[in-house]
């Protein structure tokens, strides 16, 4: 259950589109360096019964409070363990610390890549054939034009990379978002503003008696 919650396309780093084609999993967003959270809210029961003439909703076959507490804490613990395993490697593995450091180094290295080069190197190398003047892909390596929904995802990734690159302190002559970008900065800032939620945390303030897990 925990892995299904974490790996199903139920989240987004920006506002939802009408058809939800931009949905991604918590794990995929975290691997890209975007902070995500899951709020776990205790419920007495997920099934209720309201018979004709009743004025009160009835809940049957509820477990005891102690059993409910154990189930709740078990799910929270399993979500944390599964998140660690899916993002940084298996919990308890003798190589766990190494895997974490490798992931951290990989993210730091990725943040040093100029946004206009991001889709042309590393894991993205060879995937695309044509790009716009910012370096965002417009056609796949097969020459097919990228669909509108896929382009929206690429725009979000680009906006997130602009922020990471800016925070890293790296600069590049070819980067339209660097201080040397000149007139291109206006366009870059406009695009980033339109996707300002790309790398922001989507947390909702947690009321009392709720648990919120954060994954980085």
Q: pLDDT at position 131, please?
A: 94
Q: Which residue has the tokens 């180094």?
A: 105
Q: What is the DSSP string of the chain?
A: -HHHHHHSS-B-SSPPPTT-TT-B-HHHHHHTT--EEEEE---S-S--B--TT-SS-B--SPPPHHHHHHHHHHHHHHHHHHHHHHHH--TT-TTHHHHHHHHHHHHHHHHTS-TTTGGGSGGGTTTEEEE-TTS-EEEETTSPBPPHHHHHHHHHHHHHHHHHHHHHT---TT-TTSGGGTTHHHHHHHHHHHTTTSSS-------TT-EEEEE-
Residue 214: its pLDDT value, please?
55
Given a cut of 50, the residues of the chain with pLDDT beneath it are 91-95, 172-189, 191-209, 216
Q: How far is CA 134 from the centre of its chain?
A: 23
Q: What is the pLDDT of residue 42?
A: 82
Kindly report the pTM of this predicted structure: 0.41
pLDDT given at position 120: 92
- Integer Cα distance of 94 and 209 in angstroms: 35
Look at residue 183 in the predicted model and tell me its pLDDT. Answer: 40
Note the pLDDT of residue 43: 78
Contact in structure between 115 and 177 (CB atoms under 8 Å): yes
Q: What is the pLDDT of residue 119?
A: 92
């Amino acid at each position: 259950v925990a892995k299904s919650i974490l790996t199903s396309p139920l989240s987004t780093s920006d506002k939802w589109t009408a058809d939800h084609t931009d949905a991604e999993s918590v794990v995929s967003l975290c691997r890209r360096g975007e902070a995500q959270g899951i709020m776990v809210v205790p419920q007495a029961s997920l099934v209720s019964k309201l018979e004709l003439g009743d004025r009160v909703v009835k809940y049957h076959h509820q477990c005891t409070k102690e059993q409910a507490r154990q189930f709740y804490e078990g799910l929270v613990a399993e979500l944390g363990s599964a998140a660690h395993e899916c993002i940084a490697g298996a919990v308890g593995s003798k190589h766990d610390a190494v895997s974490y450091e490798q992931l951290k180094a990989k993210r730091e290295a990725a943040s040093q890549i100029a946004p206009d080069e991001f889709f042309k190197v590393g894991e993205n190398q060879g995937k695309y054939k044509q790009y716009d003047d910012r370096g965002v892909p417009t056609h796949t390596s097969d020459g097919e034009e990228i669909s509108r929904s896929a382009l929206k995802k690429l725009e979000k990734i680009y906006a997130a990379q602009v922020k990471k690159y800016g925070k890293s302190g790296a600069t590049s002559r070819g980067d339209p978002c660097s201080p040397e970008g000149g007139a291109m900065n206006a366009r870059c800032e406009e695009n980033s503003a339109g996707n300002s939620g790309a790398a922001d945390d989507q947390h909702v303030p947690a009321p009392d008696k709720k648990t919120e897990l954060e994954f980085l």
